[in-house]
């Protein structure tokens, strides 16, 4: 079947008037001989958005290579078939569905609820747009077989996605292999038919407010406010996402002073009008927060990404261009890991975990306190499964601080943990900057950097990884490479992954891998030194060498 015939078949079953109009116009232009329209159709229908361990994520629009109601219906029905296969024909498993404030998130969530209900499942839709961590919590709280969160997290405004969690023995974690391939196979089988033939039902349940309240109370208990919280002046931004309503309730329950919100970014808005890229890590994304903090004389800033599963922290810094400095994910992760380690029971088998691209400083913290340590493949689907894990983090602003409640990164509970740590420091007249200094003095100065190469042609990333494997570098930045671990074949008990890890003679580390969610090649740099200044100097030289390496294979 040619691409035009494929598009017409798709159009016949599409229930969305917006994407129907979009696709109809393209077909009309293609019929008139418009080469650009034909190319567009080929891009939309030449392949499908791949369902993997991150679920689905892509740009909104008509076509099998876009996020839309047809694709979501196929995904929901495929997931239902997989869950039915696991549970048996006599069972009525529960599936809980959540959604954020992105365009069509609510529509995709309701479509999914109707399809799960039509397939005979006990389908539960969260009562309104809510953070991703609330959905992850609800999977365990409601003893669900699975959960679906409709979100594209911090992706560009025109994207949306479909994230899947499993209950039971998976304990509310995101899916891992082989579940992803098995679900994908069921989705492909559904896609061979017509979504109009899928049974639907409006007999799904709207989750009671008590589910959200249970999350609020559990998260407030992470770090109830102590005396050091009094008079705390801080700024918060939701980055046009869904974090504020839930966080505000938790702050009240935990006893923390309310922040000054960044007014222009506090309400959900899927257009993300004040930022070009709704990710606190991106340059310019926190400019309004810095401006607000200067106006009110804030001590620190906390920021969530749009679905509130990530946390950013910024502190005053006269040397920074804006007078404020955003901490790296590794700095936040090490501080929160230090907090977790101080109260852990070493005899209990407690483990600190992080992804292999995150700072090796967490291993030093674990060793200092006699705790276990685990380095996993990237993603909280792996971190959350580390045996004995009491705390986990990933350098991309993700932190898991309450694994008995949420088995995924949670930017809201991380915010509460950070508030608790700051309040404790304030009680002894210390700041976040003082905590960073104390960490360096206790464990050594660990500094990290990341280089990202964004591409328009995904095949370039594969070619660059192949070139690095075929001709591995002998030196980087003038320092000899002592060892290269190719995780494609599995190393240190890790599942295979498209990752190269280079250890240099001076103890520095370079990790190179494709991004799992964006068209990027990522390079992670880590060094340790006795002082922060010495570490920063070594890191700068290593970054220059890494850029030269990318240029040589690009």
Between CA 216 and CA 95 the distance in angstroms is 21
| Placement of tokens 């700068």 in the chain | 540
Report the distance separating Cα 132 and Cα 119, nearest Å. Answer: 25
Bridge partners of residue 398, in order along the sequence: 394
Local structure of 116: helix, strand or coil = helix
Return the residue matching tokens 């078949």. Answer: 9
Cis peptide before 178 (omega within 30 of 0): yes
The helix or strand, by DSSP H or E, that contains position 503, with its residue range, turns out to be: strand 500-504
Question: Is residue 276 among the annotated active site residues?
Answer: no
Q: Which residues on adjacent β-strands are paired with residue 417?
A: none
Measured CA angle at 463 (ends 462, 466), to 5 deg? 85
> Which of these is catalytic: 64, 105, 153, 355?
153
Determine the 3-state secondary structure of 246 from DSSP: helix
**Contact in structure between 214 and 141 (CB atoms under 8 Å):** yes
Contact 306, 101 (CB under 8 A): yes
Tokens of 257: 């002073």
| Contact between residue 313 and residue 235 where contact means Cβ atoms under 8 Å apart | no
Non-local CB neighbours of 487 within 8 Å, separated by 6+ positions: 356, 377, 494, 496, 497, 498, 499, 500, 501
| Cα–Cα distances in angstroms (integers) from residue 230 to residues 225, 227, 334, 421, 423, in the given order | 9, 6, 25, 13, 8
Three-state helix/strand/coil letters over 505-534: CCCCEEEEEECCCCCEEEEEEEEEECCHHH
Count CA atoms closer than 13 A to 23's CA, side-chain side: 32
Read off φ and ψ for residue 111, nearest 5 degrees: -55, -45
Six-digit token string for 28 = 């009309």
What is the number of other CB atoms lying within 10 angstroms of the CB of residue 177?
12
Name, in order, each residue with C-beta under 8 angstroms of 119's C-beta and a sequence gap of 6 or more: 77, 80, 81, 84, 199
**Separation CA 353–CA 350 (nearest Å):** 10
Q: Are strands 311-316 and 324-326 parallel, antiparallel or unpaired?
A: antiparallel
Rg of the Cα trace of the chain? 24
Closest CA to 520 of 447, 478, 461: 461
Catalytic residue ranges: 153
């Amino acid at each position: 079947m040619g691409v035009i015939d494929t598009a017409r078949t798709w159009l016949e079953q599409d229930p969305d008037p917006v994407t129907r109009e979009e696709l109809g116009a393209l077909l009309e232009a293609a019929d008139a001989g418009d080469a650009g329209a034909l190319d567009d159709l080929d891009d939309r229908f030449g392949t499908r958005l791949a369902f993997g361990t991150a679920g689905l994520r892509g740009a909104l629009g008509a076509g099998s290579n876009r996020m839309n109601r047809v694709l979501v219906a196929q995904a929901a029905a495929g997931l239902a078939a997989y869950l039915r296969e696991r549970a048996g024909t006599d069972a009525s498993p529960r599936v809980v569905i959540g959604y954020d404030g992105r365009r069509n998130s609510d529509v995709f969530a309701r479509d999914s609820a109707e399809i799960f209900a039509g397939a005979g499942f006990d389908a539960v839709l969260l009562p309104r747009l809510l953070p991703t961590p609330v959905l992850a919590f609800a999977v365990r709280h409601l003893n669900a077989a699975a959960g679906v969160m409709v979100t594209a997290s911090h992706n560009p405004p025109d994207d949306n996605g479909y994230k899947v969690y499993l209950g039971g023995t998976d304990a509310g974690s995101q899916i891992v292999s082989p579940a992803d391939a098995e679900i994908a196979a069921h989705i492909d089988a559904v896609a061979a038919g017509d979504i109009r033939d899928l049974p639907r039902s409006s007999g799904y349940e709207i989750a009671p407010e008590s589910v959200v309240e249970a999350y609020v109370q559990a998260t407030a208990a992470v770090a109830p406010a102590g005396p050091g919280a009094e008079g705390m002046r801080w700024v918060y931004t939701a980055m046009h996402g869904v974090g504020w309503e839930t966080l505000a309730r938790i702050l009240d329950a935990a006893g923390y002073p309310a922040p000054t919100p960044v007014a222009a970014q506090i309400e959900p808005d899927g257009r993300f009008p004040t930022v070009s890229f709704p990710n606190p890590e991106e340059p310019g994304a926190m400019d309004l927060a810095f401006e607000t903090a200067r106006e009110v004389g804030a001590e620190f800033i906390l920021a969530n990404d749009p679905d509130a599963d990530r946390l950013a922290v910024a502190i005053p810094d006269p040397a920074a261009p804006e007078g404020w400095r955003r901490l790296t994910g590794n700095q936040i992760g090490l501080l929160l890991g230090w907090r977790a380690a101080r109260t852990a029971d070493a005899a209990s088998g407690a483990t600190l975990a992080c992804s292999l691209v995150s700072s090796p400083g967490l291993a030093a913290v674990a060793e200092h306190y006699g705790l276990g340590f685990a380095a996993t493949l990237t993603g909280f689907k792996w971190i959350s499964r580390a045996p004995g894990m009491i705390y986990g983090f990933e350098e991309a602003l993700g932190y898991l601080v309450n694994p008995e409640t949420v088995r995924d990164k949670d930017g809201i509970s991380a915010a509460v943990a950070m508030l608790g740590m700051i309040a404790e420091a304030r009680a002894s007249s210390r700041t976040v900057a003082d905590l960073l200094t104390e960490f360096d003095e206790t464990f050594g100065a660990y500094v990290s950097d990341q280089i990202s190469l964004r591409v328009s042609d995904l095949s370039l990333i594969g070619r660059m990884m192949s070139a690095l494997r075929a001709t591995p570098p002998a030196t980087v930045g003038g320092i000899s490479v002592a060892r290269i671990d190719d995780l494609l074949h599995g190393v240190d008990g890790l599942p295979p992954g498209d990752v190269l890890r280079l250890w240099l003679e001076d103890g520095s580390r370079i990790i190179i891998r494709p991004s799992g969610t964006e068209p990027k090649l990522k390079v992670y740099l880590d060094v340790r030194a006795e002082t922060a200044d010495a570490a920063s100097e070594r890191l700068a030289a290593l970054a220059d060498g890494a850029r030269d390496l990318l240029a040589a294979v690009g």
